[in-house]
Structure 1
Amino acid sequence: MWLLIVVASLAFVINLRVLYYYVMMHDNLAQNINLTPDVLKHEYQMLISYLNYPWITELNLKIPMSVQGKHHFAVVKKMFFICYSLLVILIPINYYNWRSLRRKKQFVLLIRPFSCYFQLVLLGAVFWLFFFNQVFIDLHKIVFTDKSWIFSPITDPIILVLPAKFFFLAGCCWLVLVEGITFGLLKFFKVQ
């Protein structure tokens, strides 16, 4: 059940376009690569569409990109589909588990694990808030072993419009969402 919360929250946050639009406008990102805000917004929508839809097989942006940069986003696209595949698998499993727990009045069995999950995410939030740069780099080293995540602004100017601040805020949104849902379910389990 908790894995479903983690994955569903991730799917929500990676599609939370308003977060990128906020950073784009607040930090005036379009000027970094001489685009208008409307064009940059369109480019971001194209990137998200490429990452989300299997029928879009080529990443064609107005922002120049190296072969390594395109490879990086192809890997990210695969990760998006792993996330969505997990959702498809976990939703029916959790539906049946939830019904079974409700019928047998066994929600109490989830109090301790969800308490641990809540504390684990809280610890993760501390690391994210105070050691963001190192956590961000370490996560990329683990996930992208081919070093395709290291962008040069000369060959891949897209890095100039995908700042660390955006990923920091996205991570914060994900942590708040996971923690909020976990906390809400924990309270629900305690009253059942």
Structure 2
Amino acid sequence: MNSKSFRILSLEIFMSLLLTLIIIVLSSRFTLNFKPIYYYDLVNYNISEQTGFTNKEIKENYDYIVGFVGTWQEMDFHLPSMNYSDSGKQHFVDVKDLFNNLDVLLIISLVLLSLSLVLFGKKIKFKFLKYSSLTLLILPLILGTFFFINFDTSFTMFHKIFFRNDMWLFDPSMDPIINILPQEFFYHSAISILLGLALCSMISLFIYKRINK
């Protein structure tokens, strides 16, 4: 492989990484805002009966959390109708910071990918679409297997990786909000993200094949 081919290959791999990051963030963002997942679990798992809160109370507090962690706006955390501890409040602030950081990563990746296409679009063979497609297919298969085998362990590992404290370990007596967020909901949300990645994998591969006909 000559130096020119190596540079093109390196560029395509870099672009595939950018595209993969973009899709991961967008899939996570979509799942966060796709409330029907939670509304289904609310009914399916009888959360109202299990917790003693009305469906209206549950929805307004859940909707508040989604709005809080998903916005860039500076705002103080205050659940509409549930008690919460300082550590519980801090965890939701940490989740908000995580999503804000993901948004920054999204913007940077979009800018870099766009610049790469503008500057080098005529020199590449768009193999980055194929590379990204393979990554987005393998990732859900691997993570999905771990989730299926032991989601509780996977859930714990996720929090230990992305949060530098143990404030995600809620005490239901202090933070009853955790009672309306069953683990099944987080499992379904994780699967939704992985399905989004798999779908984008197929779309990327389809576009690659159309371009290289």
TM-score (norm 1): 0.89
Does the C-alpha gap of structure 1 residues 60 and 32 become closer, same or farther in structure 2, counting only changes over 3 Å?
Answer: farther
Quote the residue 1:60 is aligned against: 78
TM-score (norm 2): 0.81
Correspondence list, 1:135-146, <5 A: 135-146=154-165
Q: Partners in 2 of 1:107 and 1:71 — Cα distance?
A: 43
Quote the residue 1:31 is aligned against: 49
RMSD: 2.0
Correspondence list, 1:3-152, <5 A: 3-61=21-79, 62-98=81-117, 103-104=122-123, 106-112=125-131, 114-152=133-171
Letter in 1 for 2:77: L
Does the C-alpha gap of structure 1 residues 102 and 65 become closer, same or farther in structure 2, counting only changes over 3 Å?
Answer: same
- Percent identical among aligned pairs is 27
- The one-character-per-residue Cα deviations of 1:3-48 (angstroms, maximum 9, x if unpaired) are 1111111111111111111111211212333221122111111111
Instruction: Indicate the SS of the match to 2:77.
Output: coil
Q: Partners in 1 of 2:175 and 2:203 — Cα distance?
A: 42
Q: CA deviation at 1:180?
A: 1.3
Moved more, 182-191 or 11-20: 182-191
Q: 1:167 aligns with which of 160, 167, 186?
A: 186
Quote the residue 1:179 is aligned against: 198
Q: CA deviation at 1:159?
A: 0.9
Structure with bigger gyration radius: 2
Size of the aligned set, in residue pairs, is 192
Q: Partners in 1 of 2:101 and 2:128 — Cα distance?
A: 29
- The one-character-per-residue Cα deviations of 1:143-172 (angstroms, maximum 9, x if unpaired) are 223111111111111110011000000000
Q: Does the Cα contact within 8 Å between 1:49 and 1:56 map onto a contact in 2?
A: no
Letter in 1 for 2:151: F
Q: Partners in 2 of 1:186 and 1:139 — Cα distance?
A: 29
Moved more, 168-177 or 23-32: 23-32
Q: CA deviation at 1:97?
A: 3.3
Flag structure 1 segments of 5+ consecutive residues without an equivalent. Answer: none
Flag structure 2 segments of 5+ consecutive residues without an equivalent. Answer: 1-18
Q: Partners in 1 of 2:89 and 2:128 — Cα distance?
A: 46
Does the C-alpha gap of structure 1 residues 88 and 18 become closer, same or farther in structure 2, counting only changes over 3 Å?
Answer: same
Q: Partners in 2 of 1:30 and 1:146 — Cα distance?
A: 30
- The one-character-per-residue Cα deviations of 1:118-155 (angstroms, maximum 9, x if unpaired) are 22331111112222111111111222231111111111
Q: Does the Cα contact within 8 Å between 1:11 and 1:83 map onto a contact in 2?
A: no
Q: Partners in 1 of 2:42 and 2:204 — Cα distance?
A: 34
Q: Partners in 1 of 2:119 and 2:130 — Cα distance?
A: 16
Letter in 2 for 1:157: P
